[in-house]
Amino acid sequence: MGAAGTITIDFELAAHADGLRERAQSLRSQADGLVEVLATTYRRRASELELEAFLTDVAAGVPVD
């Protein structure tokens, strides 16, 4: 937090987090049409990207609900 209770957000990092979430969503969509072993791998990677996006949001100063 900045002065007087203001929040400072690093918008470049926040945009990077959005890109990570978009990639995760893409992988989840692609997983639906794959054989199970590949689908599981795609979904696992999507989960990793979502976690990275969350941590990037925290680092960027985005308020967590």
Fill in the amino acid letter for 41: T
In a domain, 52, yes or no: yes
Q: How many domains does the chain have?
A: 1
pTM beyond 0.95: the answer is: no
In a domain, 5, yes or no: no
Fill in the amino acid letter for 17: A
Q: What is the mean pLDDT of residues 20-48?
A: 97
In a domain, 65, yes or no: no
In a domain, 6, yes or no: no
Domain with 30 in it = 11-60
In a domain, 3, yes or no: no
Listed in sequence order, the DSSP H helices in 2-65 are: 11-31, 36-60
The Cα–Cα gap between 59 and 65 comes to 15
Question: How do residues 4-15 score in pLDDT, each as one tens digit?
Answer: 678 899 999 999
The Cα–Cα gap between 63 and 6 comes to 11
pLDDT classification of 3: cutoffs 50, 70, 90: low
Question: How do residues 40-57 score in pLDDT, each as one tens digit?
Answer: 999 999 999 999 999 999
